[in-house]
Structure 1
Amino acid sequence: MKDVETGQRGYLLTSNLSYLEPYHNGISQVKENLESLKSLTTSNPEQQKILDLVSKDISSKFKEMEQTIKLAQSNEKDKAIALVNQDIGKQYMDNIRRNLHEFTKTEQIFLEQRKGDFRENRAQITTLVTVEISFFVGLAIFTLLFLQRNFFVPLQLLVASTQLVERGKRLEVKNIVENNEMGHLLTTFFSMSEKVHHREKTLEYKAHHDELTGLKNRLSIYDELDSSIGDAKRYGDKLAVLFLDLNLFKHINDTLGHDVGDEVLKITADRLNDSVRSSDSVFRLGGDEFVVIVRNIKSAKDAEGVIQNILSAFEPPAMINGNAIDISTSIGVAVSPDNTTDSDELVKYADVAMYAAKQDKSTHFKSFREDMLNKKDDVA
């Protein structure tokens, strides 16, 4: 407020515009400090009420000062000085000082209350520390009393269990717990845990494997592809995705029945598993669509050995219910990183190549080319 008054009076006396800079800066600083005080005392309604009175007087003081400056700027300096001499602004300042004094007194009372709270909290903390020390001393005594039960008895059971294993006998949970109610409870809990774990493993297997063929399903393929693409990049290898679709499978289902169709799918899964290498993986996407991930190859041509093994495996007819049924497949091939390093695109490109192979009656497999995308769109 001093800066504001100094700027105002300096301007009124000299008409020097430079005095208006501290005047305007002072107003901004006063408003900023007032807002800060209001923010810091939101929890004290009494101080908030005092600050509202101060704010009102400050606004009135600023209006009075602004009026004098406007009069001076309008060449009515005498009126401006006369307005100052009326001491209206002094009354506002006296109100502001009185209210700020009350504000400070309230703050001191508040601080004294805080000090009292601090002393009370310190006493509570001292009591809590004393209780905690007593608790831990008691806990130490309790631990010493039960050390025999909690350490040496289990050690004896461990030695006895080791001797059972040395004699070639099967170790069960009841051999490593005491023969009492707690031991029975632990044994029962262990058995229940084993059953739950087995059930979880079974459910996890079913979630990621095709129920009919036992092959991995589409939930697994993209995780394995992402991992395999990363490994291939790390070791400088390539990998191929083979997308297989059985020819005339719908005809087999429609003429011979779905039971025969299911047998065809099972035989297909077995032949694929027998045709690929141990490093490769076979998936059933659904229906009569299968995918093979061929890993650890140096070029796209290296995948053709696996493809030829697959085609050879499908040459003999399948014997189902005494009937010889011919099974054939069309295969599309996409290679990473030659075609893409994105797992979704890799499967999509292999699917597009399979579609091209199915349209070309002169071959059973085709490798993906960019122009196949346009051809499939044209047909679609």
Structure 2
Amino acid sequence: MKLKTALLASVLTSAAFAAQAQEVNVMSWGGSYAKSQVEAYHKPFTAEFGIKVNSIDADNPATPIKAQVEAGNVSVDVADVEFSDAVRLCDEGLLEPIDQSMLPAAPDGTPAADDFIEGALQDCAVANIVWSTVVSYNSKNVSGTPTTIADFFDTAKFPGKRGLRKSAKATLEMALMGDGVPAGEVYDMLDTDEGVDRAFAVLDRIKGDIVWWEAGAQPPQLLADGEVVMSTAYNGRIFNAAVAENQPLVVMWDGQILDFDLFVIPKGAPNLENAKKFIAFSTGTKPLADQASWISYGPARKSSGALVGLYSDGKTQMAPHMPTAAANLENALVNNFEFWVDKDAELNERFNAWLAN
């Protein structure tokens, strides 16, 4: 009897462990972006593989996963992070390497390595979207029609508060573009002491009118509530507020900064194989195209483009709202990922000192 009881207990324990293992913990940015991932990735993944996806929100997933790995207490399996964070965390040995051969080919057989946009595949990361930081305004609360990035920094011409992300990245680039530096010269300029001084001088002009934000959900709310008349924001968040919530928010594409978001696996992820399976599935051609029907971020695979159609409302064409649409690229800056890997600590230290004064 004791032997039978012991065997039964062992079987039950193994079954419980197996059931527990059939999950994957995915950390992302919350809001309408996380919803797009739940609809396009999480639900279909669970339906196909029977693996539960636990969705976890963070203001910036790179911060908690770095802390978890360094503490040796990792609970996250997959995290959605910005490009410079993916490269930095990989260089620091905090991420699992990702074998590109595990990624599915395009429907026509094109290997994944040739189907992803240039730069989208890294040693420890696989991109899912192309997004951008843009300037948006509330058409009900601004006098006139802002058309250029310079207008954002001109509080005499367009009075009112400005929303800015509490971070050196994107803020300094936009300050230089707002001061007339061509997009193609921004990083060369920002790589000099004079260029950094010039960017902060531009910020000095509006410092008393800045409302700082840290989470992506904040700018649409600040604009809708009239707390600011213009704000930098993630383009997909503004799209969601304008189209899904019928807010009078307008995207000004001039001076937009293009970026990737990528999936990474923290070193020591508790469900490693499920994490790999989730990334391979979610970065397939159809799931990436499906996400674009929920939010205006461009898929990171070339083969997904032709499948992007209507928004989930069944009537709004998504293509014109993509940051990669030709009309939106006339004065766009592509984030220099290598620059920020090298300069992030130095420029944020300068930025935080400037904030404190």
Report TM bin, short chain: under 0.3
Query: TM-score w.r.t. structure 1 length?
Result: 0.21
Which one has a larger percent strand, Structure 1 or Structure 2? Answer: 2
Query: TM-score w.r.t. structure 2 length?
Result: 0.22
Larger relative contact order (CA 8 Å, sep ≥ 6): 2
Which one has a larger percent helix, Structure 1 or Structure 2? Answer: 1
